[in-house]
Each structure stands twice: as structure tokens, then as C-alpha cells.
Amino acid sequence: MELYITRHGQTDGNLYRIMDGIREIDLNEEGIKQANKTKDLLKDIKFDLVICSPLIRTKHTMEIINVNKFPVIYDKRIIERDCGEFTGKSFDSLDRDLYWNYKDTTVYEKAESMQELFKRVYEFLDDIKEKYKDKTVLVVTHSGISKVVECYFNGIPEDGNLEVLSLKNCEVRKYDL
């Protein structure tokens, strides 16, 4: 299996360093430009399937990228981490190195824990690895999901800090199974 992962294009939340989480926010003008560049980058790859987060920003990115009209499946397991009480707040309102640390056991009021996030993303990856083992698949998702995907393939960093593992907007990574 060849697995390509891309993050959605820029949103105003990304630009202004606001925690978007699972709230519905669309791409901004720069995000649309980024998605078009990624479309050009991926245009010659024949995907058997595109799996996309059902949030607006990923759907819009996928619609731009999927110029060849490959079959699309929307999967809630790859929506962004639910930021709970931090949704809509500045990145500076919390310690992101702690918030994105696998070893952290903080119990938040509403925010999804790292263990919950890892469980759903690892289940997703195990599932597609089995179902699409001889396929070329594109996944259009979010920063938080890209961190967990990187850990799935390359292990969790020794210090547990996942903040540095994030895809940039519309960056693409390829993994072979």
C-alpha cells in the first residue's frame, strides 16, 4: 500500500494561531492557493481512493486536489483533535508542547486526550492497511492527525513531544506499507 497524507490548506485560524479543533472553518485565500499547488504536485498519481475528514476545510482542500475525481470516502476518525475548552483560543493560551505530548496525562474538561486521539487514528490506520493493502490511497486530514500518523509509522519521539511532527498546510508525506 502506498499511503499519501496531506493536511488541509490554511485557514484564518491557522494564520492567526487560533485553535480550530473540530469547529467548521473554511480555507482562506492562501489555503486555496496551497491546495492548488498540491493538486499540481499530485496530478500524475493514480489514487485508488481518497479518504477525507468530513470537516469543511478538508473537504474544500480535497475538492481542489481531486481533479481526477477519484472515489472519496469521508471518515470521522480522521477529524482534528477535539480541542474542547481551547477551541477558538490563541495558541498562546496553553502550553502546546504539553498539550501535544504523548506522555502527558492531563485530564481536560472537554478536550480529547492524547490516548483517545491515538486510539481512533491507529484504528483507522489498521483498518485501511487491511482493506486497501494493494492500493494507492490519499488521506486529506489535519495537523493533529498527521502527528499521530507519523508516530504510527516511525514511533513516538522519546520525549513524547509531537508538536514538531505536524505537516504544514497542504504538505504531503508518503508512507509505504
Q: Where are the domains of the chain?
A: 2-176
CB 137 within 8 A of CB 128: yes
User: Would you give per-residue pLDDT tens digits along the chain (177 residues)?
Assistant: 999 999 999 999 999 999 999 999 999 999 999 999 999 999 999 999 999 999 999 999 999 999 999 999 999 999 999 999 999 999 998 888 899 999 998 889 999 999 999 999 999 999 999 999 999 999 999 999 999 999 999 999 999 999 999 999 999 999 998
Q: Which of the 8 DSSP states describes residue 135?
A: S
Phi-psi region of 17 (alpha: psi -120 to 50; beta: other; left: phi over 0): left
Number of Cβ within a 10 Å radius of residue 169: 22
Cα(1)–Cα(162) distance, integer angstroms: 25
CATH number of the structural domain 2-176 = 3.40.50.1240
Measure the CA–CA gap between 114 and 127, rounded to whole angstroms.
20
pLDDT of residue 3: 98
Q: Rounded to 10 degrees, what is the CA torsion of 126, 130, 136, 140?
A: -30
